[in-house]
Structure 1
Amino acid sequence: MTSTSPADREVVAARLLAGSIKRSYDPAVDLDWDAPLVEGRYFLPPTVLSLYGTPMWESMSEAQRIELSRQEAANILSVGAWFENILLQALLRSLLHQDPTSLHTRYTLTEMGDECRHMTMFGRAIAAMGVKPFPLRRHEAMVANLLPKTFRGTMLWVAALIGEEIFDATQRRVQNDPQLQPMMSRVMRIHVTEEARHIRFAREGVRRRVAQSHPIEKVWVGSVQGVGGLLLQRLFTNPTMYKRAGLDPREARRQALANPYFRANQRRGFDSLAAFLEENGLMRAPSRAMWRRAGFL
C-alpha cells in the first residue's frame, strides 16, 4: 500500500489492530522463565558474534565463546530496552497532537503496549542469563533523554525503523538456530512476530510523511539519519561486554571492527532498510557516508 491519504492511514491501522488481536504475546505467561538454561548452548549463534572468525576467536575455548555470546546477547537486549524506552516517549508525545478516537491512535497505543512487554521480556531474559544489564554511560543517557524531543514527523518513523529493522533482520535469520538456548529462540520468535506489525506501521508513516511534508524535511532527515549507524556500531562493539567475557576490551573491539564476518552481518541486517530509505529519497550523501563508515554499507 503506497497511497498516503488519511483514509488509507486508518485502513492500515485497522489491519494491524486485527493482527494484534489474533497474534500477540504476554511474556509473563508465554515464556517458561523457570526452565533451566541448557548446558553448552549459545545465547547468540557463533556466526553473528562480533569476534567470530578473528584471531581472538580462534584462541578462545568453547566455554569462553559461549560466555561471549551471553555478554553480547545481554548487551543487545539492553540496547533494545533503552531504544524501546526512547521510542515510547516519542510516540506518547506524538499522541498529544492526534485524534484520540482514530484507529491510528488506537494502534499507536497498542504498539506501545507491545513495547512495554518487550522491555519486560528483555529484562527478564537478561536476569535469566545470570548477568547484569549494560547501563547507559552518562553522555549516552544525556543524549537518550534528548532524543524523544527531536523524533518528530518523518524522523520519528525513520528512527523507529533504524531501531527495529536491523535487529529484526538478524533475529529472523537466527531464531531457529539449533545452537541457541531455547529461551533466546522463544524471545526472538515473539519479538519478530510483533515487530513485523511495528515495522509495517513505521514504513507507512515514512511514506505518508514523505508525500505530505516540506522538501526541506526530507533533505534534513535524509542527511542526518546516518548518525544512527555510527551509534549502532559503537553499541554493538561495547568494550564492557568484552571485558566481562574476560577479554582485552581494546584489542577485542579493534578486531571486531576489522572483522569481515561482522561487517557482512551488519550489511545483511541493513540491506532492506537501506533500500527502503533510498526508494523514498531519505538516503542523502552525508548519511550514506556515515552508514558506510559504520560498516553497514
Structure 2
Amino acid sequence: MTSTQPRPHTYQPPVKQDDKLDYEQVLDDLSSASVHRNFDPYLDIAWDAPDMAVVPNDSRWILNYTVDPIGRHPWYQALPESEQIRIGMWRQANVAKVGLQFESILIRGLIQYADRLDNGDKRFRYVTHESKEECNHTLMFQELVNRIDMPTPGMRRWLRLLSPIIPLFSTLTPTVFFFGVLAGEEPIDHIQKDFLRAGRDSEMHPAMSAVMELHVAEEARHISFAHNHLRTTIPKKGRLAKFVLSLVMPLVMRVLCGAIVVPPAEFAKEFNVPREVMKEIFWESEQSRVFLSGVFGDVRMLADQCGLMNPVSRRVWKALGIDGRSSRFRSEPAYTAS
C-alpha cells in the first residue's frame, strides 16, 4: 500500500480537562486522522499485480495452523492438500463476505445515528468519515470475494434476515448499537491481527494480507471511537440503566461473535464436515475456548472502565465463556498476558 501523510499534530490530553472537552478533542483527532490517513482499495492495493492473482492449487490458501480454529483441527489436517486449499479459499472468502455484510449494517446505523445529531455536534463529522471508510471496506471485501470466486453466503442465515432491523438500534438504543459495533469489530480485528502476526513466520496470499493490513489500519480508529464514546456516555447513566447494560453487554458480545466467527451451515454441507467436528471447533475444545475468551480482553477492559463489571454481570460473562483477564491496554497481544 502507498504511504499517506501524517496527521498535522498529535493529541496530548490537557491537564484536568473535563470529560466533555476531552471527548470532543478525541473526536477532532479522529476526524483529522480520517482526512490525513485514509486509504482507497483501488489505489492502495495492486489488485492486478502478477503476485496477486488467484490461481488453482496455491498452497498459500491453506488455513493457518496457529490462528484459524478450523486450520488447527485434526480433521482438516488429515485432508489432502487440494481439499485444504479449497476449504481455505472458501473460508477466507466467507470471512471477507461476513466483513462486508457487517460493515453494511454498520454504515446504515451510523448514517441514521448521525441524522439525529444536533447542528455543531462533532460526532456528526467523525461518524460520517467512518461511514465513508466502511464503504471503501465493503468495496475491498467484495473485490476479494469476487477474485477468489467461491459460492460463499457470508453471515449465518438468521443474522442475514435480521440485518435490515439492526441499524434501527442506533437511534432507539445507541449504547446497545455500539455494543453491537464492538461485538463485530473486535473479533474481526482480533483474528486479522493474529493472522498478520502469524504471517511473519508463514506464507499468506498477498491479496489476503493486503486487505487485512488496510482494514486493520483504519479499524483502529473505528474501535477507538466506540470505546471513547461508551466510556464517556455510560458513566453518566443512572444506576438501574448501568446495571441493565452490564447484563446486555456480554450477551451482545457472545451472540454476535458466534454469528460472525462461526461459518454458516453451508460450510459444513459443502465440505461434509462432521457435526462433532464443528461442535469441537466452535466452541467445545480447550483451544477454541481460549480463543473465544481472548477475543474480548479489550471489551472486558472497557466494561471495567465504564462501571459495567459487577458480581452479577461477571457471572454472565463467565456463563457465556467470554470471561477472563481484562487487557491492560488496547490491542494487547495474547502472548504478553501474565
Q: Which category describes the TM-score, using the shorter chain as reference length?
A: 0.7 to 0.9
Aligned-pair CA distance for 1:232: 2.2
Partner of 1:165: 186
TM-score (norm 1): 0.88
Match of 2:40 among 26, 33, 46: 26
Structure 1: how far apart are the matches of 2:289 and 2:93? 20
Match of 1:36 among 53, 57, 66: 53
The one of the two structures with greater contact order (alpha-carbon pairs below 8 A, sep at least 6) is: 1
Which SS does the other structure have where 2:46 is aligned?
Answer: coil
Which SS does the other structure have where 1:219 is aligned?
Answer: helix
Larger radius of gyration: 2
Counterparts of 1:189-208 in structure 2, within 5 Å, are 189-208=213-232
Query: Does structure 1 residue 88 correspond to structure 2 residue 88?
Result: no
Aligned residues: 296
Query: Does structure 1 residue 49 correspond to structure 2 residue 74?
Result: no
Structure 1: how far apart are the matches of 2:145 and 2:318? 31
Aligned-pair CA distance for 1:76: 2.0
Give 5+ residue unaligned stretches, structure 1: none
Residue type of the alignment partner of 2:182:
L
Which SS does the other structure have where 1:134 is aligned?
Answer: coil
Query: Does structure 1 residue 108 correspond to structure 2 residue 136?
Result: no
Inter-CA distance 112–134: structure 2 relative to 1 (3 Å threshold): same
Q: Which moved more, 1:155-164 or 1:136-145?
A: 136-145
Partner of 2:22: 8
Match of 2:277 among 245, 252, 272: 252
C-alpha contact 2:183 2:252 (8 A) present in aligned 1 = no
Partner of 1:184: 208
Residue type of the alignment partner of 1:233:
G
Deviations 1:232-281 (A, max 9, x none): 2244232322333x232523312313233333222222222222223323
Give 5+ residue unaligned stretches, structure 2: 1-12, 324-338
TM-score (norm 2): 0.78
Structure 2: how far apart are the matches of 1:149 and 1:227? 15
Partner of 1:230: 255
Partner of 1:146: 165
C-alpha contact 2:93 2:150 (8 A) present in aligned 1 = yes
Inter-CA distance 20–54: structure 2 relative to 1 (3 Å threshold): same
- Percent of residue pairs identical: 27
Residue type of the alignment partner of 1:7:
L
Inter-CA distance 69–292: structure 2 relative to 1 (3 Å threshold): farther
Residue type of the alignment partner of 1:96:
D
Which SS does the other structure have where 1:145 is aligned?
Answer: coil
